[in-house]
Structure 1
Amino acid sequence: MNTLLIIGNIIVFLLLVFGLFVMQKKHVSFSVRVFTALGIGIVFGLVIHLIYGTTSDITNGSLEWFNIVGTGYIKLLQMIVMPLVFISIVMAFTKLKLTNNLGKISALIIGILIGTTAIAAFIGIVTALGLNLEAIELQEGEAEAARNAALVERVDTVENMTVPQQIIELLPGNPFLDFTGARPTSTIAIVIFASIIGLAYLGIKRKEPEQAAFFAKIISSIHTIVMRVVTLILRLTPYGVLALMTKVTASSDYSAIAKLGKFVIASYLALIIMFLIHLVLLAIAKINPITYLKKAMPALTFAFTSRSSAGTLPINIKTQTKAFGVSEGVANFAGSFGLTIGQNGCAGIYPAMLAVMVAPTVGINPLDPSFIVSLIAVVAISSFGVAGVGGGATFAALLVLSALNLPIAIVGLLISVEPLIDMGRTALNVSGSMTAGLLTGKATGELDKEVYDQLTARVDQA
């Protein structure tokens, strides 16, 4: 009986996929298809949840088959991340698009990412204080206890990682290993490796122009093929969003979410406020924030549903280049650095809120100005070092709480709402990355305003 019900769910899912395929054949816009998939996925997932429950064999069996589309799509995106980052940055050197501004571009992107993370930390602090969030309200169950036990085993890694060690972790000791994404800092290491190759190309261009020209042609050909692969994968985005959103809504523990509803609401309030600040920063730079919203939404929607900044990177970069008109070099630097430096949601808002909540348990007044200043400074600095200790909101929180000598147990107590909050955090991280790319492109003349102002630009086209 269970097998027949699972098969029935799979048939319904395939029919929904076919519906999205028909929309594609009718040339319905990419954004409309993505949002349609998002809405259908929410409804379909809720129906499965209401009929079968979260932990039933039917739900788990159905989602396992849906994962072929959802997780498979993320894997395809992750497959192309390293080749895309490497080849695009090397090609930027061959086209001399960012050579003269390389130092300025890097400094601006990193500065914007860290600066916005400091602002995000302040927003997290104000939100936690304003809604009177307290760690004492949280209760530890079996899942939370197991999570905290695992965190205790890992916290030594966080506490013992010095800033110089974190910086060393960014360097490409073995680029072939980094191409596999084996380390948390692999993406930044590939950026550095590609930049070194680019600088070497510039040296050869002066001494042996014929060899340099041949190399440039090879890079251009490879870049064309890689971008074509990216385009083919991006055309699968609506199907991936459908599968991922169905999984989220079908498997979420809504009773646990209800118990921690206050924290969830506070988190999303802070995330929304920080997203509005991104729009304000764009407006200040005379970049139309409404246009940004329209063009960025497909990338942000996928980031929201997938909870993967790395998986969103190809969409992130192509949105910046094809839809926004940011140069490939700036887009790749902003996208790549944004994976591991200055993540506004994971490394900014989240650890700041936890620190404010847990401070009273050790006799610290969270309203103390010195504590607030120290917390913002630690969050800003740690946002650069998160990459060195594994990345993600959990390690960002561990790093900040450990640096301030605060208890880390609160991190494990939020395990039941982590997936829900992580969706918003990931979308904000990607928005911060794209905002840094746009602001840097505008400041360095690497932004094509004509492309940005064209509302017809699409990221799923070759």
Structure 2
Amino acid sequence: MRELLRRAARVPFGVQILVGLVAGVALGVLARSMGGTADDPNALTTVLDTVGSTFVQLLRVVVPPLVLTAVVVSIANLRQVTNAARLAGQTLLWFAITALISVAIGIGLGLLTNPGRSATIDVGQASASGTQGGWLDFLDQLVPANILGLRASTSVEQGADGVVTGSSTNLSFSVLSLVVLAIVIGAAALKTGEKAEPFVAFMRSALAVTQTALWWVIRLTPLGTAGLLGNAVASYGWDLVAPLAVFTVDVYVGSLIVMLVVYPVLVKAHGLSARKYLSGAWPAITLAFVSRSSVGTLPVTQRVAERNLGVPREYASFAVPLGATTKMDSCAAIYPALAAITVAQLFDVQLGVWDYLLIAFVSVVGSAATAGLTGAVVMLTLTLSTLGLPLEGVGLLLAIDPILDMIRTATNVAGQAIVPAIVAKREGILDVEAYHAPRGRDPLALDDVDRHDVRATDGTREEQGSDGTRVATPA
């Protein structure tokens, strides 16, 4: 048994994920053939759901300490970086540029295919979603509620007669709040100077411990992939997709155009290999597809951005967590544009040029306004309410949302990896050799000393370990 485990460990990680994908589809088809419903699933579907959800939950558990320690350490290391403000500005600018391109593709596909005209769905059964977004949500998510960035929500359970039968309180964290909190702490440590060195050293040690724990969780990815994809196949079928088939195809086509055409063109325009970009970001993209969680995929996205795409750790620790909350080219651009056109056509509402400009505006700015909130439903309600379209249209699209969310999240994460690489290349700090290096080495494995070459702003090459130590050598 031990020898079998050793042989399995030597199998390339990408191959392991591929095996998990195939196994997930096979198990999902088997579970679907066994019958069962969403309210009463069969045993295999329950097992797949449990395995997949447990894996995502483990990833999410690692996210808060990873974001907090990584951003604090990266801010503390900014004393060696002279253009930190420019990096932040360039990051936000490229977030907006790629979002604008994405929403244009979404609107173009919607006008070309008219997804609402071909939909066979009864609008009389539509109901407004209970989850909605507003422009003030950004400020609410921006200010941390406490030192851990935790937020509590209470739900009340009522019986058929309206009598309260119980209540439950759920705790959740806002990644955006954690990023803001970590930036403040890191800036304070930077300002304090020498007296803060023991604290910064502690945060570096905590980051190293967190990365080790993260590696353990990441090694479960093939198993989690099988559970997540298997449950998706078992739970959703063509009978749900058929009434909105054109809309579904549009979302997938639009997302694939952005991920496989727009992003490669952008990296090619900056003198980088499109093939190396896709192969480098692929571990994060595949995990995002099956997990449907940018936050859950965040540790892997940051990992591939640093090791595969050559983004300096100081910058990646800031840009990737920020992107996981505000960089959503599919959820916040392609999807709401197509959904707004679909809902307008379903309810016979004519959209004019001004309405399409509003869709573009909401897509570029609105992802920040809904940062940290759940899924694309919030972004969709924000778009529909801004255009004055019936919010009942949201309920018509919810049935197939999990199917769409797979490709949406994959595209989001692909964008969260590409922008730091583009900005780093433009600013001359990208490790181009690491970007174009062969992909034979497992990008997600942690070495005893996790060394990372980065290009310093003064033209020297710096070799940095996970403990934050740096040795400058001539470039």
Q: Which moved more, 1:220-229 or 1:91-100?
A: 91-100
- In structure 2, the CA distance between the partners of 1:154 and 1:271, relative to structure 1 (3 Å rule), is closer
Q: 1:257 and 1:288 mapped to 2: Cα distance?
A: 36
Note the 1:181-220 alignment, pairs <5 A.
186-205=174-193, 209=194, 211-220=195-204
| Structure 2 unaligned blocks of 5 or more | 154-169, 447-475
Aligned with 1:62 (options 36, 40, 44) = 44
Q: 1:229 and 1:119 mapped to 2: Cα distance?
A: 38
* 1:274 corresponds to: 258
Identical-residue share of aligned pairs (%): 29
Assess if the C-alpha contact under 8 Å between 1:245 and 1:305 holds in 2.
Answer: yes
Q: 1:224 and 1:405 mapped to 2: Cα distance?
A: 49
Aligned with 2:110 (options 115, 125, 128) = 128
Structure 2 counterpart of 1:127, which letter? L
Assess if the C-alpha contact under 8 Å between 1:41 and 1:243 holds in 2.
Answer: yes
Quote the offset at 1:76 in angstroms.
Answer: 1.0
Q: SS where residue 176 of structure 1 aligns?
A: coil
* 1:460 corresponds to: 444
Q: 2:39 and 2:384 mapped to 1: Cα distance?
A: 39
Q: 2:284 and 2:321 mapped to 1: Cα distance?
A: 15
Deviations along 1:47-76, whole A, 9 cap, x unmatched?
A: 332x31352999532222233432111111
Quote the offset at 1:258 in angstroms.
Answer: 2.5
Q: 2:180 and 2:415 mapped to 1: Cα distance?
A: 21
1:224 maps onto 2:215 in alignment: no
The structure, 1 or 2, with the larger RCO (C-alpha pairs under 8 Å, 6+ apart) is: 1
Deviations along 1:288-338, whole A, 9 cap, x unmatched?
A: 110111121121111101111111111111111122221223223222222
* 1:348 corresponds to: 333
Q: SS where residue 175 of structure 1 aligns?
A: coil
Q: How large is the Cα RMSD of the aligned pairs?
A: 2.8
* 2:65 corresponds to: 83
- The total of aligned residue pairs comes to 428
| Structure 1 unaligned blocks of 5 or more | 1-14
Q: 1:458 and 1:303 mapped to 2: Cα distance?
A: 18
* 1:380 corresponds to: 364
Q: 2:347 and 2:49 mapped to 1: Cα distance?
A: 43
Q: Which moved more, 1:69-78 or 1:128-137?
A: 128-137
Deviations along 1:383-418, whole A, 9 cap, x unmatched?
A: 221127x24210101001101111122221122221
Assess if the C-alpha contact under 8 Å between 1:110 and 1:337 holds in 2.
Answer: no
Aligned with 2:90 (options 103, 108, 114) = 108
1:399 maps onto 2:382 in alignment: yes
* 1:10 corresponds to: none
Structure 2 counterpart of 1:355, which letter? A
1:254 maps onto 2:242 in alignment: no
Deviations along 1:314-366, whole A, 9 cap, x unmatched?
A: 11111111222212232232222222213111111111112222335666544
Q: SS where residue 379 of structure 1 aligns?
A: helix
Normalized per residue, which structure has more helix?
1
Q: 1:326 and 1:202 mapped to 2: Cα distance?
A: 22
Aligned with 2:300 (options 315, 318, 321) = 315
Runs (4+) off by over 4 Å: 18-23, 56-59, 179-185, 360-364
Quote the offset at 1:260 in angstroms.
Answer: 2.2
Aligned with 1:441 (options 424, 433, 436) = 424
Q: 1:185 and 1:286 mapped to 2: Cα distance?
A: 39
Q: 1:34 and 1:461 mapped to 2: Cα distance?
A: 14
Assess if the C-alpha contact under 8 Å between 1:78 and 1:310 holds in 2.
Answer: yes
Q: 1:222 and 1:428 mapped to 2: Cα distance?
A: 31
Quote the offset at 1:135 in angstroms.
Answer: 5.9
Note the 1:31-50 alignment, pairs <5 A.
31-49=14-32
Deviations along 1:141-183, whole A, 9 cap, x unmatched?
A: 99x64xx24x1x444xx3xx445x6235312242224399988
Normalized per residue, which structure has more strand?
2
Q: 1:361 and 1:255 mapped to 2: Cα distance?
A: 19
Note the 1:324-339 alignment, pairs <5 A.
324-339=309-324
Quote the offset at 1:446 in angstroms.
Answer: 3.4
Assess if the C-alpha contact under 8 Å between 2:72 and 2:182 holds in 1.
Answer: yes
